[in-house]
């Protein structure tokens, strides 16, 4: 589940997608001006194509908040979710056109989740990422100074992320 603007060809999510046939992408009709209800409906449509007990959703940035909204609305029991660099849509610097994603849900997510954050992410402070992890009932992993954990911060073939994912799968 990519975030705002989709994950391009060099993004670690694309690397994961190309690494094996057990990865599938949640496609959205609108990547740049997203509407939360449309994004969570797309997640639900995709996960229902599989045995839910085997599904692990991997979200990045706005994709993490989308997964939190999806979990609250649909209450599906999946295997788990890896939530990487959850954007803080309530922060003043988040001025992107995203409709219906805030407030960020603080309900406990009823499946296993791991939040991975960076100590110098411009889109979420470490404290806020820990705050989300606590409320969501997630394991929290701080990978240090790693920016927004995207292509710009050098996260393309992100082997550390694949190792973290193995804690869920």
Of the candidates 107, 45, 52, 114, the one whose C-alpha atom is nearest the C-alpha of residue 85 is 114
In a domain, 137, yes or no: yes
In a domain, 4, yes or no: no
- Work out how many domains the chain is built from and give that number: 1
CA dist 109 and 135 (Å) reads: 8
Res 154 pLDDT > 80: no
Q: Are 149 and 85 in contact (CB under 8 A)?
A: yes
Q: How confident is the model at residue 112, as a pLDDT?
A: 97
Query: Binning pLDDT at 50, 70 and 90, where does residue 75 land?
Result: very high
In a domain, 5, yes or no: no
Q: What are the angstrom distances between the C-alpha of 122 and each of 8, 110, 153?
A: 19, 28, 11
Q: Are 123 and 65 in contact (CB under 8 A)?
A: no
Q: What's the pTM value of the predicted model, to 2 decimals?
A: 0.94
In a domain, 2, yes or no: no
* Average pLDDT estimate for 3-30: 89
């Amino acid at each position: 589940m990519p975030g705002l603007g989709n994950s391009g060809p060099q993004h670690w999510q694309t690397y994961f997608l190309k690494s094996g046939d057990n990865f599938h992408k949640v496609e959205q009709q609108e990547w740049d001006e997203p509407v939360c209800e449309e994004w969570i409906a797309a997640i639900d449509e995709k996960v229902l194509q599989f045995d839910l007990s085997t599904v692990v959703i991997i979200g990045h940035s706005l994709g993490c908040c989308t997964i939190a909204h999806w979990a609250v609305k649909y209450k599906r029991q999946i295997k788990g979710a890896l939530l990487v660099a959850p954007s803080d849509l309530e922060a003043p610097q988040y001025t992107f056109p995203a409709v219906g994603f805030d407030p960020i849900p603080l309900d406990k997510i009823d499946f296993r989740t791991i939040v991975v954050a960076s100590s110098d992410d411009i889109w979420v402070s470490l404290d806020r990422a820990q705050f989300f992890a606590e409320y969501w009932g997630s394991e929290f992993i701080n990978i240090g100074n790693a920016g927004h954990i995207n292509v710009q911060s050098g996260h393309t073939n992100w082997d550390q992320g694949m190792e973290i994912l193995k804690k869920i799968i």
